[in-house]
């Protein structure tokens, strides 16, 4: 992604599902905020957590995407 000029990546994950949020935090993503009740799934609203990762900070050593270089 860096070769293409992409310097920042973002994720939006279900706020109440802690294992996913912990996984992204360990991969170098920084918490950006919570989008409260912004997603309607089957008639029920759910909150999402937004996070970002600066790909040039040198801290993203883990490659959680398998074969895609980070």
Residue 70 pLDDT: 39
Please name which of 29, 63, 42, 43 lies closest in space to residue 21, comparing C-alpha atoms: 29
pTM score = 0.67
**Which pLDDT tens digit goes with each residue over 13-69?**
998 888 898 999 999 899 999 999 999 989 999 999 999 998 875 555 544 444 344
Top pLDDT among 2 and 8 is at 8
Q: For residues 68 and 61, what is the distance between their CA atoms, to the nearest angstrom? A: 12
């Amino acid at each position: 992604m860096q070769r293409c000029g992409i310097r920042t990546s973002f994720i939006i994950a279900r706020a109440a599902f802690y294992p996913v949020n912990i996984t992204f935090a360990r991969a170098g993503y920084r918490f950006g905020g919570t989008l409260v009740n912004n997603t309607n799934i089957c008639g029920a609203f759910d909150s999402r957590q937004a996070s970002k990762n600066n790909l040039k900070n040198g801290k993203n050593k883990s490659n959680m995407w398998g074969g895609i270089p980070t």
